[in-house]
A and B are shown apart, each in its own frame.
Chain A
Amino acid sequence: MKILVTLKRVPDPEQKVKFKGNQLDFSGASWVMNTFDEYAVETALRLNENAATGERLGEVVVASIGPKEASQQLRSALAMGADRAILIAGDDAQLDSGMVARMVAKLTEREKPDLLLMGKQTPDGENNQVGQLVAGFLGWPQATFAGSIEAADGGKALVVGREVDAGMESKKVPLPALVTVDLRIILPRAVHNGATPADHAYEEGPRYASLKGIMAAKKKELKEMTPADLGVEAALCVQVTSVEAPPARKAGVKVKDVKELVEKLHNQAKVI
């Protein structure tokens, strides 16, 4: 099947958040691919290969909206094995989830994939909206927070194991559909495409790019576009006007033993 995967470059979640006045300061930040998006790329590759023979079963297109530098993350996805990439010019400060979703919807209409695969959220904005918005715009079925995916009906549908509040929900969606991925999707046996032997166990986590993959990625197509090419006008509906550091928690104390801990919890904190 043809799969479109979106990915975003985000500030490395491990680095300290800096402020400049009432705005975030990303000068000197290092940028990485959103982990959930990386998992989506891995999921797309697993869905579109026979892991036993190495045969490729369909096209994987990766797309990002961001500055020129985001081509680096797209190249990483190409090096992992994606076939081609699309970079739509954009600046985070001038984008909201709605605009991103409109662009992804337009791109989806143009590319006509069988499956739109996305990470469930980003670690910077943490909005957890774009996938569901796109599905809403397109009137597609959606399966968010996927922890497992299995091809069904001879590749015309997917059965998705969804992380819901009560446990795991099994939802069947006909293609084309939108799926957003959660953490467990990269477990060794989370993806079954009907071609890879059912007992095949993947290495846990997204695959590393091989040297051959990195070399090949340099020759793969990376097309640059603008929102105007997609017919999307800039219209920010949700704007971050200022940002501040959260109130810091007061430093606590170390207790010497269990007795003192229970005494403090009972008499001082009064929680037990």
Chain B
Amino acid sequence: MGNVVVFMEVVEGALRKASLPAVTFAREAARHHGGQVLGVVAGSGLDAAASQASQLVSKLFVFDAPALASGMAELLAPLIARVAKEQGATVVCATATNTGKDVLPRAAALLGCGMVSDVIAIQGPHSFKRPMLAGNAIAHVEVSTPTLVASVRQTEFTAAEPLGAAGELIKADPGPLDARGAQVLGVQATKSERPELTEARVVVSGGRGMREGKNFEILGQLADLLGGAMGASRAACDAGMVPNDLQVGQTGKVVAPELYIAVAISGAIQHLAGMKGSKVIVAINKDGEAPIFQVADYGLVGTWEQTIPPLIEEIKQLKAAQK
């Protein structure tokens, strides 16, 4: 018997949607381990987020202190490890966002236990499936330590729904905080009115073939028309056309929207690793032999200049007709 601790992220006072799949994972793991799902949130000014998060778990530990606003791994990992030890947890998990990837291994080091990254399925109490080699192999992994840490691939678990009754909310004292001398000086946030890339129903991505940053504007129009997010290939990010946080792929974000439209993207292995799980894939590329067509449900051979403006018009007409 063991409890499952799930670390949930808070962004601008609200619970981050990206954390919900980890709660689903935690509930599944709790069935295998015969324990309860316990949540942890940490930050500053957490009242709203804590009330949201408490709907999802049996017990919620809230660490609310100004010093925790930075979200530094040096501070969060010991708190997560402490809750895990005190509450007899046998599983500690979070979504494999950049924050999750930063914090969880440090918590695993403090707990002295094994960690499995990017879990896509639970096979048993200590066995999991995870992708390797840019998604070209699926590994079955066994963790032999009594307690284990798991990061969860966001696209492979559904977003958890609130439970019928709110869980117990425990305002926990973080105690003395030691950031090991580190401090966050600031965050340069990429502001966008569009939905978050990893949460969007539709993603429109551009590649090297877009040639320059300003040409992404037309992809933005297409994304907005479909209520979607913008993405990009590593080549486009490396070339400085768009910010790196738009990068979809093995080295960027993994997305699995209902509709993924890849424009002027050739389809390098490392890009495919980030979008192969999409429900419907559309590829638009001037090279009919581009590897992206091998994973696309619908392929259209043509340049973006030739195809995107009429595509926007067609969709506008369709939407007008639907009204």
Residues of chain A touching chain B, judged by Cβ–Cβ distance below 8 Å, are 11, 13-14, 16-17, 19, 24, 96-98, 101, 121, 123-137, 139-145, 147, 157, 159, 163-174, 177, 182-184, 236-246, 249-255, 257-259, 261-262, 264-266, 269, 271-272
Contacts and interface: CB of A to CB of B under 8 A. Distances in A.
A169 B93 CA distance: 24
Contacts of B217: none
A172 B226 contact: no
Contact of A262 (B11, B101, B188, B318): B318
B189 A258 contact: no
Contacts, number: 253
A259 B301 contact: no
B280 A269 contact: yes
Contacts of A101: 109
Contacts of A182: 244, 251
Nearest to A14: B269
Contacts of B165: none
A170 B142 contact: no
Nearest to A235: B144
SS class of chain B's interface: helix, strand, loop or mixed?
mixed
Binding site secondary structure of chain A: mixed
Given A96-B114, A238-B141, A145 B102 contact: yes
Contacts of A13: 133-134, 269-270
A96 B113 CA distance: 12
A97 B132 contact: no
B145 interface: yes
A128 B114 contact: no
Contacts of A258: 300, 307, 310-311, 314
Interface string B99-116: 101111111111001111
Contact of A237 (B110, B127, B139, B143): B143
Interface string B284-313: 000010000111111111000001001100
B311 A251 contact: no
B320 interface: no
Contacts of A237: 113-114, 143-145
Contacts of A164: 98-99, 187
Contacts of A136: 77, 105-110
A132 B105 contact: yes
Interface in B75-124: 77, 97-99, 101-110, 113-118
What are the 5 A-B residue pairs with the smallest beta carbon separation, nearest first?
A136-B109, A237-B114, A132-B105, A141-B182, A174-B181
Interface residues of B, number: 88
Contacts of A142: 73-74, 102, 106, 182
Interface string B173-213: 00000011111111111100000000000100000000000
A271 B259 contact: yes
Interface in B108-166: 108-110, 113-118, 127, 131-145
A142 B180 CA distance: 9
A169 B168 CA distance: 34
A165 B97 contact: yes
A27 to B, nearest CB: 15
Nearest to B272: A249
Contacts of B202: 271
Contacts of B181: 141, 157, 173-174
A40 to B, nearest CB: 14
A171 B117 contact: no
A172 B182 contact: yes
B106 to A, nearest CB: 4
A126 B141 contact: no
Contact of A243 (B102, B132, B296, B307): B132
B183 A97 contact: no
Contact of A168 (B103, B137, B188): B188
B296 A147 contact: no
A245 B137 contact: yes
Contacts of B311: 258, 261-262
A255 B298 contact: yes
A13 B271 CA distance: 12
B47 interface: no
Contact of B299 (A166, A243, A253): A253
B245 A163 contact: yes
B183 A171 contact: yes
Contact of A183 (B182, B238, B318): B238
A261 B108 CA distance: 48
A262 B116 contact: no
A255 B299 contact: yes
B115 A97 contact: yes
A141 B133 contact: no
Nearest to A240: B139
A183 B185 contact: no
A168 B189 CA distance: 6
